[in-house]
Amino acid sequence: MDLDLMRELSVETDSKIILLILDGLGGLPMEAGGKTELEAANSPNLDAMAAESDLGMSRPVAAGVSPGSGPGHLGLFGYDPLEYIVGRGVLSALGVGFELGENDLAARINFATLDGDGKISDRRAGRISSEKGEELVALLNEKVSLGGAEFFVTHEKEYRAVVVFRGEGFSGSLSDTDPQRVGLEPLSVTPADDSNASQKRSASVANEFINKANEVLADEHPANTVLLRGFGMHPTLPSFDEAYKLNAVAIAGYPMYKGLARLAGMELKKEGEGISGEIETLKSSWDSHDFFFVHMKPTDAAGEDGDFDRKKEVIEEVDALLPEILSLEPDVLAITGDHGTPAKMKSHSWHGVPFMLRSEYTLPTGDKFGERACIAGSLGTFPAEEIMGLLMGHAMKLNRYGA
Amino acid sequence: MDLDLMRELSVETDSKIILLILDGLGGLPMEAGGKTELEAANSPNLDAMAAESDLGMSRPVAAGVSPGSGPGHLGLFGYDPLEYIVGRGVLSALGVGFELGENDLAARINFATLDGDGKISDRRAGRISSEKGEELVALLNEKVSLGGAEFFVTHEKEYRAVVVFRGEGFSGSLSDTDPQRVGLEPLSVTPADDSNASQKRSASVANEFINKANEVLADEHPANTVLLRGFGMHPTLPSFDEAYKLNAVAIAGYPMYKGLARLAGMELKKEGEGISGEIETLKSSWDSHDFFFVHMKPTDAAGEDGDFDRKKEVIEEVDALLPEILSLEPDVLAITGDHGTPAKMKSHSWHGVPFMLRSEYTLPTGDKFGERACIAGSLGTFPAEEIMGLLMGHAMKLNRYGA
C-alpha cells in the first residue's frame, strides 16, 4: 500500500469499517478432490454475506513465502512487510504483552548450558520447565543490575524469555550471541558498524547484562547462561490515525496481536472470553471508533494442530455469531486471514487467503465463502497490502485522486 | 522475485523440483470461437496432472511486451528481466555456444556493404549465404590481429556473426556502429562516458577490429564491412546455488538456453536426441541434483512457423512422455512456457502463458491444462518472476518470513 497516497486522499467520515481476521483462515483439501476447511464448513451466514460481497484471494508477502504473524498482520494493516521489519525480540516483547517504549531495545533470550570449558553444550538448557524458566527470570530481575541502563526480563515459555533494555540512544543493529551449534563458545554482542556510537553503547550494555547474568546463573546448571538474539527497537510505523485518519480499536485476545495493533497506533480493548467476548467488545466500542480490527485465533490454532474438523467447527462458530456483527450495520465488513494454516500442513502457508468484503458497492459473483469461490471472485488474487485501500474506498473515506 | 528474500529464506532439503519449459507454449485460437493449440491437443496425461495442480497464467516482462528468449528465461529463473540486461552480443555468443568468460566483451556482427563513398548501401550485405558467412568469419579470425586484446569471431547464420573480445578491464557501455539506415557512413564505437578509461579502451579495441576487418574484407563485396551492435559483458547473476541453495541442472538442446542456464550457474547436461533424450537425461541426473530445468524447443519452432497442428502434436508428444517424468516422483513439477508463440501470430507474444504446478499442497480447480482453465485457476494471472518463489514454497525449501 502506498501510505503517502492514503495520507493524501483519506478523509474522516462517519462510516464504520470492521476487519475481521480469522487467523490462518486459508486451507487446503486433505486429499485430491476434497474441500478445504472453509469450503467444508456449514456456514449459511457467511455464504449469505458472500452473495452481497466482493470476493478474492489475498496473498501475503511474496509468492511461495509463508509469513509469520508479524509480517502477516503488517500486510493486513497496509504496511509493506518487506519494508517494515519487526525483529524477533520486539515480537517476543509484544507477545508477552510488554509495553515497549520508543527507545527500548528488545532481544530474545534462550536459557542455555555452558560446559566447564565455556562452550555451549545445550542451546535450550535441556528444555527446562516453564516453572523453572519463570524462577530464573525472577532471579535475573532481582540480582542483576546494570551501570548504564534499566532492563526488564519477561518469561515467555520453558527456556525462552525476552529482555528489554531501557535507556537513551540505543540501536538494534547488533549481532546475536547464539553460535547456532553446540561445542562452540557463545559470541559477544557486536555492533553492525564499529564506528556507530549508539550501536557500540547498546552492545556494551547487552554484554554487561550477559556477564552479570552468567554470574547469577553460575549454579543453575543446566540453565547456567543466556543466549541473546533478534535485537531490535520498537519500529516506527505511520499510525492508523496518521495514514488513514482512522480512530481504530483492536479487539484481540492474544498479546502478539495486541502488540502488533499497538504498533499501528490502535487502541486495545477486550472484554469477556473467547470469540463471543470479542463480539461483545465490538458492540461496546461501536460508538467511539470507526475502524475495528477483530482478531480470532482459534482457526490458526486448529490448523497448526492439523485438526481439520476443529478448524471447520471454529468457522461454524464464527458463522453463528455473524448476524450479531451484521446487526451493527457496518458500512464495510471484511473477513479474511493473515495467511493460510491448512490442517494438512500443520503450519502457516504461502497460499492465497479467502477474502470477502461487504459494502453497498460490491459486485457479487457467487453465494459461497470458500477458496474456490474467492478465486473466481471479482477481486481476483491481489496482495494483502491492498486490503486497507479496498476498505477505505468502500467506506467512502478516500478522495478522488486527481481531477 | 526478491532474490535477497530468497537468499535469506531458502534452505537446502532433499525435495526435488522439475521446471519443464515448453518454449512458446502459450497460444491463441486461429479464429474466433476456436481453441488454442494447448486446448486443442489430446493430452490426457497433462489433464490428469491439472486435476492435482495449481493452475494460473504466468505473464512475462510487462503488459503487452513480447519477450525474447533471454528476458523470457531470466524471468522464469526469478531474475527481473528489466533489471538484469543481457545484451544482444552476449545472447548471440550464448546462442552459438561460445563459452563466454567473465571479462569478455561481446558484440553482434552484421556483414554489410560499403559503397565507393564509404556509405552503407546494404545493412545485410545482400543476405549472403551461410556458407559465405562462415568463410568470411574464418578469414577474419585468420587475418585480423589486434594490439590490445584477443578476439574470437563465431558465425551465427547468413550475414550474422558474433565477436568476443577477451582482455582485462573491458566495459560494455559502448555505442553501436550500425547507422540503422542506408546512405549513411557507419558510426564509430564510442564510450557512453568519455572520462571512463575502460570504456575508452574497449571502444578503441572495437574500432581497431573494425578498421582491420575492413582491410581484410575490402575485396569481398557485397560483404565488405562489419557493423557492430549490442555490446555487452557477461552479466553477473546471483547463481541458483547462491540465491536458492539449489544444485541445478539444465537439460536443453539449444545453445541459447544452455547459455542462459549457465548464466544462472546451472550445470549443463544432455544425452540422446530430442525430447525423449531430455527425459533420459532427467532420469540419469535424478540422484545428483535437486532442481531440473528441462527445456523443449519444438513448440516454439512450430508456433514461429505458424503451424498450429504441429504445435499441437508436439504438445501431444510431451503428454505421452509425462508419465515417465511423473514416475520419478518429483516433489514439485511445474510445466509452462517462457512466452507464447501463437501459430496465429508466427512470433513470440506478450500474452499470459499457461502454468501448472503439481505438489502435495495444491488447490486444484479443474481437470484440463489449457489457457482458459489456467485463467480460472487458483493462481490467477501472476508475473513469471514469481514462479521460482512458488516452486521453492511448494518444495518446502523456504523458511517462514518473520516470527
C-alpha cell at B169: 578491464
Longest dimension (CA), chain B: 73
Residue A257's closest chain B neighbor by CA? B403
Give yes or no: residues B243 and B206 share one domain: no
pLDDT digits (tens, 9 = 90+) for B290-342: 999 999 999 999 999 999 999 999 999 999 999 999 999 999 999 999 999 99
Q: Exposed/middle/buried for A371, CB within 10 Å: 0-12, 13-18, 19+?
A: buried
Peptide bond between residue B222 and the one before it cis (omega within 30 degrees of 0): yes
E strand or H helix at B241: helix B240-244
Residue in A36, A68, A351 closest to B400 by CB = A68
Q: Residue B146: its pLDDT value, please?
A: 94
Residues making up chain A, counted from first to last:
403
Instruction: Provide the CATH number for the domain around residue A319.
Output: 3.40.720.10
Residue B275 scores a pLDDT above 90: no
State whether the Cα torsion B391-B397-B401-B403 is positive or negative.
positive
Residue A362: count of CB within 10 angstroms of its CB: 18
Q: Is residue B354 part of a domain?
A: yes
Mean pLDDT of chain A: 94
Outline where DSSP puts E strands in B137-224: 150-157, 160-166
Least confident of A20-24, A255-259, A298-302: A255-259
Separation between Cα atoms, residue B111 and residue B95, nearest integer Å: 18
CA-to-CA separations, B159 to A115, B105, B230, in angstroms, rounded? 74, 20, 16
Residues above pLDDT 90, as percent of chain A: 85
Selection from A25, A36, A78 nearest residue A237 by Cα: A78
Give yes or no: residues B229 and B248 share one domain: no
Name the 3-class secondary structure at A172: coil
Residue B28 scores a pLDDT above 90: yes
Separation between Cα atoms, residue B24 and residue B344, nearest integer Å: 12
| DSSP codes of every residue in A321-365 | HHHHHHTT--SEEEEE-SSB--TTTTS-B-S-EEEEEESTT----
Selection from B260, B272, B220 nearest residue B21 by Cα: B260
Residue at a domain's end among B180, B203, B233: B233
Residue B166 scores a pLDDT above 80: yes
B361 vs A65: CB contact, 8 Å cut-off? Answer: no
| DSSP codes of every residue in A358-387 | ESTT-----S--SHHHHHTSTTEEEEGGGH
Name the 3-class secondary structure at B113: strand
Q: Is residue B402 part of a domain?
A: no
Q: Residue B121: its pLDDT value, please?
A: 96
Residue B173 scores a pLDDT above 90: yes
With contacts defined as CB-CB under 8 Å, which chain A residues touch B51?
A: 32-33
Separation between Cα atoms, residue A74 and residue B352, nearest integer Å: 31
Mean pLDDT of chain B: 95
Can you count the helices (H) and strands (E) in chain B? 14, 13
A70 vs B9: CB contact, 8 Å cut-off? Answer: no
Give yes or no: residues B192 and B313 share one domain: no
Give yes or no: residues B193 and B262 share one domain: no
Q: Which residues pair with B349 in a beta bridge?
A: B340
Q: Is residue B399 part of a domain?
A: no
Separation between Cα atoms, residue A248 and residue A334, nearest integer Å: 15
Q: Which residues of A touch B (CB under 8 A)?
A: 28-29, 32-33, 36, 57, 61-72, 81-82, 85-86, 88, 91-92, 230, 342, 344-345, 347-352, 371-372, 375-376, 380-381
Task: Find all residues with CB under 8 Å of A19, minimum gap 6, and list them.
Answer: A76, A291, A292, A293, A294, A334, A336, A387, A391
Give yes or no: residues A217 and A147 share one domain: yes
Q: Residue A102: its pLDDT value, please?
A: 85
State whether the Cα torsion A307-A309-A311-A313 is positive or negative.
negative
Separation between Cα atoms, residue B100 and residue B154, nearest integer Å: 12
Q: Is residue B103 part of a domain?
A: yes
B403 or B280: which carries more pLDDT confidence?
B280
Longest dimension (CA), chain A: 74
Give yes or no: residues B47 and B99 share one domain: no
**Number of domain units in chain A:** 2
C-alpha cell at B153: 569471431
Mean pLDDT, residues A128-133: 95
Residue in A32, A342, A345 closest to B364 by CB = A32
Residue B241 scores a pLDDT above 80: yes
Residue B272 scores a pLDDT above 80: no
Selection from A304, A248, A294, A287 nearest residue A271 by Cα: A294
- Which pairs count as long-range contacts for B299-303, CB under 8 Å and 24+ apart, including other chains? B299/B22, B299/B23, B299/B24, B299/B25, B299/B37, B299/B337, B299/B341, B300/B23, B300/B24, B300/B337, B300/B341, B301/B23, B301/B24, B302/B343, B303/B24, B303/B27, B303/B37, B303/B340, B303/B341, B303/B342, B303/B343, B303/B345, B303/B346
Residue A344 scores a pLDDT above 90: yes
Residue B270 scores a pLDDT above 90: no
| DSSP codes of every residue in B260-325 | HHHHTT-EEE--SSHHHHHHHHHHHHTTT-SEEEEEE-HHHHHHHTT-HHHHHHHHHHHHHHHHHH
Asked if residue B25 lies in contact with residue B349, where contact means CB atoms within 8 angstroms, the answer is no
Selection from A384, A399, A343, A271 nearest residue A40 by Cα: A343
Find the domain containing B255 and state its range.
Answer: 3-86+238-394
pTM of structure = 0.89
Binning pLDDT at 50, 70 and 90, where does residue A235 land?
A: confident
Q: Which residues of B touch A (CB under 8 A)?
A: 1-2, 5, 9, 51-52, 360-365, 376-382, 386-394, 398, 400-403
pLDDT digits (tens, 9 = 90+) for B203-218: 999 999 999 999 999 9
Give yes or no: residues B222 and B95 share one domain: yes
Separation between Cα atoms, residue B219 and residue B365, nearest integer Å: 66
Asked if residue A36 lies in contact with residue A345, where contact means CB atoms within 8 angstroms, the answer is no
Place of cell 564509430: B188
Residue in B5, B360, B364 closest to A62 by CB = B5
C-alpha cell at A61: 508477502
Q: Identity (one letter) of the amino acid at B370?
A: G
DSSP state of B13: -
Place of cell 521489519: A85
Separation between Cα atoms, residue A342 and residue A68, nearest integer Å: 14
Q: Residue A86: its pLDDT value, please?
A: 86
CA-to-CA separations, A194 to A174, A179, A191, A203, A230, in angstroms, rounded? 10, 20, 6, 10, 19
Q: Is residue A403 part of a domain?
A: no
Residue at a domain's end among A233, A260, A286: A233
Residue A87 scores a pLDDT above 90: no
Q: Residue B273: its pLDDT value, please?
A: 82
Residue in B363, B364, B380 closest to A351 by CB = B363
A69 vs B362: CB contact, 8 Å cut-off? Answer: no
Give yes or no: residues B249 and B390 share one domain: yes
Binning pLDDT at 50, 70 and 90, where does residue B87 land?
A: confident
Distance (Å) from the alpha carbon of B28 to chain A's nearest alpha carbon: 22
> What separation, in Å, do the N-terminal and C-terminal C-alpha atoms of chain B show?
21
Q: Is residue B403 part of a domain?
A: no
Give yes or no: residues A53 and A124 share one domain: no
> What separation, in Å, do the N-terminal and C-terminal C-alpha atoms of chain A show?
21
pLDDT digits (tens, 9 = 90+) for A377-392: 999 999 999 999 999 9
Q: Is residue B401 part of a domain?
A: no
Residue A270 scores a pLDDT above 90: no
Separation between Cα atoms, residue B222 and residue A248, nearest integer Å: 77
C-alpha cell at B9: 529464506
Give yes or no: residues B228 and B242 share one domain: no
With contacts defined as CB-CB under 8 Å, which chain B residues touch A68?
A: 400-403
Separation between Cα atoms, residue B403 and residue B394, nearest integer Å: 20
Residue in B360, B379, B398 closest to A381 by CB = B379
Place of cell 547464420: B157
C-alpha cell at A211: 556477564
Q: Residue A88: its pLDDT value, please?
A: 81
Residue B95 scores a pLDDT above 90: no
Residue B242 scores a pLDDT above 90: yes
Binning pLDDT at 50, 70 and 90, where does residue A271 land?
A: confident
C-alpha cell at B243: 540465491
Give yes or no: residues B226 and B108 share one domain: yes
Q: Residue A15: its pLDDT value, please?
A: 98
Separation between Cα atoms, residue A315 and residue A41, nearest integer Å: 7
Least confident of A74-88, B239-253, B353-367: A74-88
Distance of CA A64 to the CA centre of its chain: 19
Residue at a domain's end among B233, B249, B276: B233
Residue A187: count of CB within 10 angstroms of its CB: 16
Q: Residue A193: its pLDDT value, please?
A: 92
DSSP state of B386: G
Give yes or no: residues A378 and A277 share one domain: yes
Q: Is residue B326 part of a domain?
A: yes
